[in-house]
């Protein structure tokens, strides 16, 4: 089990009420959201590093990546 540390945060009441309508485990809910955000941040950093070392992805490469990540329905979406 991962180590944890208790922290205090302040949220708008409406946001907290909305979260409570989806889950009773607010801590777990926020942890999951934070983990997703951290993975996106790390991926963005890696993609930026790659493109600065080599070159920017082509439109074709971006379309292929979207198709792999989201399925074929995303390939027609504007970049």
**What pLDDT is recorded for position 73?**
60
What gap in Å lies between CA 65 and CA 3, rounded to an integer?
35
State the burial class of residue 62 (Cβ atoms within 10 Å of its Cβ: 0-12, 13-18, 19+): middle
pLDDT digits (tens, 9 = 90+) for 12-69: 999 999 999 999 999 999 999 999 999 999 999 999 999 999 999 999 998 998 899 8
The pTM score is 0.67
In whole numbers, what is the pLDDT of the chain averaged over residues? 89
Q: Where are the domains of the chain?
A: 24-74
Buried b (16+ CB within 10 A) or exposed e, 3-37: eeeeeeeeeeeeeeeebeeeeeeeeeeeeeeeeee
**Does the pLDDT of residue 1 top 80, yes or no?**
no
Residue-wise pLDDT tens digits, 20-31: 999 999 999 999
């Amino acid at each position: 089990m991962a180590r944890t540390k208790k922290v205090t945060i302040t949220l708008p009441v409406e946001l907290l009420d909305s979260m409570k309508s989806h889950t009773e485990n607010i801590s777990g809910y926020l942890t999951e959201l934070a983990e997703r955000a951290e993975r996106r941040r790390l991926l963005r950093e890696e993609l930026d590093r790659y493109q600065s070392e080599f070159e920017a992805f082509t439109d074709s490469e971006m379309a292929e990546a979207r198709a792999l990540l989201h399925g074929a329905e995303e390939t027609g979406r504007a970049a």
